[in-house]
């Protein structure tokens, strides 16, 4: 049985009092009118999964403290005590009190999806820690759990050294997204070594006592263990206690959470109980900040935010590295506007043109001085542009990398100059993430998955589906990730086969020429085209028509971007689906720059809001689109 810690019990009591106070203020009236508009304050409901896990206690306390600094907020709190049924009722009650915004940290993704969708239809909803299924929410804030798992795997591998050894993983809740994702990342990294044996994991539901009990029961049958990776610090500490009681020595323990306090992960590292932990920001502070932004209808709010973890070791604590500041100049006096240097890829597509227009117009609106350079599809041009920004001592550098490698040297130069770098649209493949501050853009892997899911659902009645893939720039993040996501979905469907896959470099003309060559070779064997962008898809449409076939009917076509020409092609029945890749990143970038200069920490990743559009609704959907 799980037991609430003394801090959790105290917090539950305090939050209960706050909730009662908020409800008392609402009693004279009812419904939406209950909000106190006279004093300009907003009512926010907070639905927490439980107050038994120390990390969730810290999250709730962080929300409470940050909300206390906001004069325009009143809060109502609810603790679901780890029951999905109770949390669903909690959300319904909060909605009945007339809240203006909901912050919810779900017990389970699937179970909470319908009630979150219901709330989202009426008010803004911020989901913390565990994402619900689909995209029916305003903003998700949480850790990048796969990344945390991979980083833990690298630490474990380093601790084992060349000798290798035996590793035990202790998981949180079986089947929960954070547990699955952390395990996936960890196993991916550990799996690179043939000299490491990974035992069957132990499930301990995120609880110290459960981890200790499970290991005490299983300990006698366990061979020597060289390293234990527990998915949170509480379980890592429970494992350490069990090993100590059993007289086992020489095992390294790795956790995640990195909370402060007497029994927090940082202190456990300081005492030598844990070899390492990772700070895993709760998102509580960020949730309150974004809640205010949403309620005040500010621009530049992303769809998903992944917070930056930091490795904590005895060495880093001795050197003070765990508290490395990433925030901007804050209250430092400034003379003149913020100066932003931006190095664009080029103008290879309608998407890129719209992206450039968005950045320029948002900078002008925000009063930010923009130094803009067009890389004309050449990495050398972009590197030269970044060096020119460094020489001009800009406040922030941002760029959309033409490829994902080869940036180490110039980004080290920016770091040495004290200039932060923000990546837009495309990521880079650097292990040293201290060389860049934040990434904002799309989830390219998910775009590939969405294209494949739509294709599989649309052609589900066919016995065999032969697919032509038109790839973008070789080595670029969109090309690598969209292909990865698409193949992930069709991998277990043998009737779906990619019979040709060639690069069109994201250009319309090259999409035409590549498709023309494939049609000459494959003829009528082609059932579908998956194009990594809409421009290449439109080029392919022309080639298909010249071949005497009907695009959209004889060959099903799905692209990525959601540009106007794709909507026109869908409305004409010549294209079937376009997965959106939103180029309107300007407002989001300017908000990030201003937040940094105001002294705020930026998330490590910010994902834009995007949809999937089909021919059935293309005429309606393209009304009022900016690109």
Model confidence pLDDT, tens digit, residues 183-201: 999 999 999 999 999 999 9
More confident residue, 321 or 177: 177
Q: CA 63 → CA 47, 70, 288, distances in Å?
A: 11, 11, 6
Q: Taking residues 418-425, what's their average pLDDT?
A: 96
From the list 211, 212, 223, the residue with the least C-alpha distance to 165 is 223
What is the pTM (predicted TM-score) of this model? 0.81
Architecture category of domain 145-282+315-323 in CATH: 3-Layer(aba) Sandwich (3.40)
* Angle (nearest 5°) at CA 165 between 161 and 168: 115
Enter the tokens of residue 400.
């959309």
Residue 325 has pLDDT above 50, yes or no: no
* Angle (nearest 5°) at CA 524 between 523 and 527: 120
Model confidence pLDDT, tens digit, residues 212-237: 999 999 878 889 999 999 999 999 99
Architecture category of domain 339-442+584-608 in CATH: 3-Layer(aba) Sandwich (3.40)
To which CATH superfamily is domain 6-137 assigned? Response regulator (3.40.50.2300)
Residue 445 has pLDDT above 70, yes or no: yes
The string of DSSP codes covering 333-382 is ---S--EEEEEE----SHHHHHHHHHHHHHHHHHT-EEEEEE-TT-HHHH
Q: How far apart are CA 352 and CA 566, in angstroms?
A: 15
* DSSP letter, residue 201: P
Q: Taking residues 34-42, what's their average pLDDT?
A: 64
Residue 139: which pLDDT band, with cuts at 50, 70 and 90?
very high
Q: What is residue 176's predicted lDDT score, i.e. its pLDDT?
A: 85
Is the fold of 145-282+315-323 the same as that of 444-581?
yes
Q: How far apart are CA 130 and CA 132, in angstroms?
A: 6
Q: CA 60 → CA 46, 63, 65, distances in Å?
A: 9, 5, 9
For the ranges 76-85, 156-165, 313-322, 351-360, the lowest mean pLDDT is seen at 313-322
Q: What is residue 330's predicted lDDT score, i.e. its pLDDT?
A: 61
Q: How many residues does the chain have?
A: 627
Helix (H) or strand (E) holding 275: none
Residue with tokens 């880093």: 316
Enter the tokens of residue 243.
């090993």
Residue 626: which pLDDT band, with cuts at 50, 70 and 90?
confident
Q: How far apart are CA 491 and CA 449, in angstroms?
A: 11
Q: Taking residues 311-329, what's their average pLDDT?
A: 71
In a 13 Å sphere around the CA of 215, the CA atoms on its Cβ side amount to 32
- Beta strands 304-307 and 605-607: pairing type? antiparallel
Q: How far apart are CA 52 and CA 583, in angstroms?
A: 42
Residue 538 has pLDDT above 50, yes or no: yes
Residue 248: which pLDDT band, with cuts at 50, 70 and 90?
very high
Model confidence pLDDT, tens digit, residues 511-536: 999 999 999 998 778 999 999 999 99
Q: Taking residues 442-458, what's their average pLDDT?
A: 95
Model confidence pLDDT, tens digit, residues 468-521: 999 999 988 899 999 999 999 999 899 999 999 999 999 999 999 999 999 999
Inter-residue contact 507 to 476 (CB < 8 Å): no
Helix (H, G, I), strand (E, B) or coil at 469: strand
Q: What is residue 488's predicted lDDT score, i.e. its pLDDT?
A: 93
Helix (H) or strand (E) holding 242: helix 233-245
444-581: what fold?
A: Rossmann fold (3.40.50)
Residue 322 has pLDDT above 60, yes or no: no
Listed by start position, the domains of the chain span: 6-137, 145-282+315-323, 339-442+584-608, 444-581
From the list 89, 96, 139, the residue with the least C-alpha distance to 114 is 89
Inter-residue contact 358 to 584 (CB < 8 Å): yes
Residue 4 has pLDDT above 50, yes or no: no
More confident residue, 578 or 109: 578
Sequence-distant (≥ 6) Cβ neighbours of residue 460 within 8 angstroms? none
Q: CA 50 → CA 56, 82, 97, 212, distances in Å?
A: 7, 5, 21, 21
Residue 1 has pLDDT above 50, yes or no: no
Q: How far apart are CA 376 and CA 357, in angstroms?
A: 16
Model confidence pLDDT, tens digit, residues 256-273: 999 998 889 999 999 999
For the ranges 5-14, 42-51, 106-115, the lowest mean pLDDT is seen at 5-14
Residue 130: which pLDDT band, with cuts at 50, 70 and 90?
confident
Q: What is residue 263's predicted lDDT score, i.e. its pLDDT?
A: 86
Mean pLDDT of the chain: 90
């Amino acid at each position: 049985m799980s037991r609430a810690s003394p801090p959790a019990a105290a917090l539950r009591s305090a939050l209960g009092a706050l909730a009662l106070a908020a409800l008392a203020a609402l009693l004279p009236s009812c419904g939406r009118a209950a909000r106190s508009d006279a004093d300009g304050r907003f009512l926010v409901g907070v639905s927490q999964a439980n107050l038994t896990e120390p990390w969730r206690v810290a999250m709730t306390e962080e929300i409470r403290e940050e909300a206390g600094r906001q004069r325009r907020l009143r809060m109502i709190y609810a603790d679901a005590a780890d029951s999905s049924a109770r949390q669903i009722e909690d959300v319904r009650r909060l909605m009945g009190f007339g809240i203006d915004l909901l912050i919810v940290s779900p017990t389970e993704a699937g179970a909470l999806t319908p009630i979150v969708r219901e709330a989202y239809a009426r008010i803004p909803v911020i989901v913390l820690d565990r994402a619900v299924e689909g995209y029916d929410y305003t903003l998700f804030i949480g850790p990048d759990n796969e990344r945390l798992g991979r980083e833990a795997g690298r630490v474990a591998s380093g601790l084992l050294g060349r000798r290798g050894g035996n590793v035990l993983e202790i998981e949180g809740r079986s089947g929960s997204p954070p547990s699955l994702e952390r395990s996936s990342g960890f196993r991916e990294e550990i799996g690179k070594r043939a000299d490491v044996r990974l035992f069957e994991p132990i499930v301990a539901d995120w609880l110290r006592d459960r981890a200790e009990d499970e290991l005490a029961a299983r300990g006698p049958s366990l061979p020597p263990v060289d390293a234990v990776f527990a998915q949170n610090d509480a379980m890592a500490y429970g494992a350490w206690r069990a090993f100590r009681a059993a007289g086992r020595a020489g095992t390294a323990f790795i956790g995640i959470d990195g909370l402060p306090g007497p029994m927090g992960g940082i202190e456990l590292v300081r005492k030598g109980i844990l070899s390492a932990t990772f700070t895993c920001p709760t998102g509580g502070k960020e949730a309150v900040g974004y809640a205010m932004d949403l309620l005040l209808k500010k621009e530049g709010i992303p769809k998903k935010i992944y917070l930056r973890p930091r490795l904590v070791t005895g060495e880093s604590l001795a050197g003070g590295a765990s508290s490395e500041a990433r925030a901007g100049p804050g209250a430092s006096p400034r003379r003149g506007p913020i100066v932003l240097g931006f190095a664009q890829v080029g103008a290879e597509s309608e998407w890129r043109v719209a992206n450039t227009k968005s950045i320029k117009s948002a900078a002008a609106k925000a009063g930010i001085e923009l130094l803009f350079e067009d890389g004309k599809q050449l990495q050398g041009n972009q590197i030269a542009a970044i060096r020119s920004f460094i020489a001009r001592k800009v406040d922030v550098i941002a760029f959309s990398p033409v490829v994902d490698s080869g940036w180490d040297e110039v980004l080290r130069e920016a770091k040495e100059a004290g200039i932060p770098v923000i990546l837009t649209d495309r990521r880079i493949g650097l292990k040293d993430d201290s060389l860049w501050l934040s990434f904002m853009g799309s989830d390219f892997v998910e775009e590939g998955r969405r294209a494949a899911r739509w294709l599989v659902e649309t052609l589900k009645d066919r016995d065999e589906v032969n697919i032509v893939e038109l790839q973008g720039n070789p080595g670029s993040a969109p090309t690598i990730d969209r292909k990865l996501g698409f193949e992930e979905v069709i991998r277990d469907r043998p009737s779906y086969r990619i019979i040709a896959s060639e690069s069109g470099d994201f250009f319309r003309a090259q999409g035409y020429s590549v498709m023309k060559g494939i049609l000459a070779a494959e003829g009528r064997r082609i059932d579908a085209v998956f194009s990594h962008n809409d421009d290449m898809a439109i080029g392919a449409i022309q080639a298909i028509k010249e071949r005497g076939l009907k695009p959209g009917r004889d060959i099903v076509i799905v692209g990525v971007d959601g540009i106007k020409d794709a909507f026109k092609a869908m409305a004409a029945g010549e294209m079937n689906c376009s997965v959106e890749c939103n180029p309107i990143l300007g407002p989001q970038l300017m908000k990030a720059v201003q937040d940094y200069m105001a002294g705020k920490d930026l998330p490590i990743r910010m994902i834009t809001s995007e949809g999937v559009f089909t021919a059935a609704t293309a005429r309606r959907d393209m009304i009022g689109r900016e690109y």
